[in-house]
Amino acid sequence: MTTKMLYSRWTNGEIHPRKWLLYSASKGSVYCYYCSLLNIGDKFSHPDGFSSWKKAHSKISAHEQREVHRNCVLEARDRGTEAGRVDRAMESQRMENKKLVQSRTGISLGVWK
């Protein structure tokens, strides 16, 4: 895994961190936070994760562009706002989601925002 994989270049040239990308050092795999939450069934949400490092950057970028990924991001965000949660409640939900991802993947996760 390279640092380049951690960032996305938008069409306007801006570079943004891929906050959805989780890395498990113990498994040597990466996961999509949002797709794992909603269990869409691809390599980025599978318990073994994505670990095909050949052309990984393009495959990570392709995952990011998939409609199902974008829908997962939107659905996860909508769930937070539909309930009318404030920051404290959202933090509680985020911690619950983190535990869910950990239970599904069996990995310890770092901090994400």
C-beta separation of 49 from 57 below 8 A: no
Helix axes of 87-105 and 67-82: crossing angle, nearest 10 degrees: 140
C-beta separation of 31 from 49 below 8 A: yes
**Residue 22 engages Zn ion in binding (rule: CB under 5 A):** no
What character string, x for contact with Zn ion (CB under 5 A) and - otherwise, covers 69-88?
x-------------------
Nearer to Zn ion, 69 or 98 (CB): 69
**Residue 98 engages Zn ion in binding (rule: CB under 5 A):** no
Count of residues in contact with Zn ion, rule CB under 5 A: 3
C-beta separation of 27 from 48 below 8 A: yes
**Residue 32 engages Zn ion in binding (rule: CB under 5 A):** yes
Q: Least distance from C-beta 84 to Zn ion, angstroms?
A: 26
Residues that bind Zn ion (CB under 5 A): 32, 35, 69
